[in-house]
Amino acid sequence: MTRSKLEMPTNTTERLAEIFESYIPFNKFLGLRCLEIEHGSVRVEPLIAVARVVRLGNRVGVAELRAFHPDSEDRPVAAGMGVYSVKRDNSGEGGTWEWKAN
Q: Where are the domains of the chain?
A: 8-42, 48-91
The C-alpha atoms of residue 92 and residue 99 are separated, in whole angstroms, by: 12
> Is residue 102 pLDDT above 50, yes or no?
no
Q: Can you tell me the distance from the alpha carbon of 40 to that of 17, in angstroms, rounded to the nearest whole number?
A: 16
Using the predicted structure, report yes or no on whether residue 95 has a pLDDT greater than 70.
Answer: no
Judged against a pLDDT cut of 70, whether residue 51 lies above it is answered with: yes
What pLDDT band is residue 52 in, cutting at 50, 70 and 90?
very high
Residue 87's pLDDT is: 77
What is the rounded distance in angstroms from the CA atom of residue 83 to the CA atom of residue 48?
22
pTM: 0.48
Alpha-carbon Rg for the chain in angstroms? 20
- Give the model's confidence band at 1: pLDDT under 50 very low, under 70 low, under 90 confident, else very high: very low
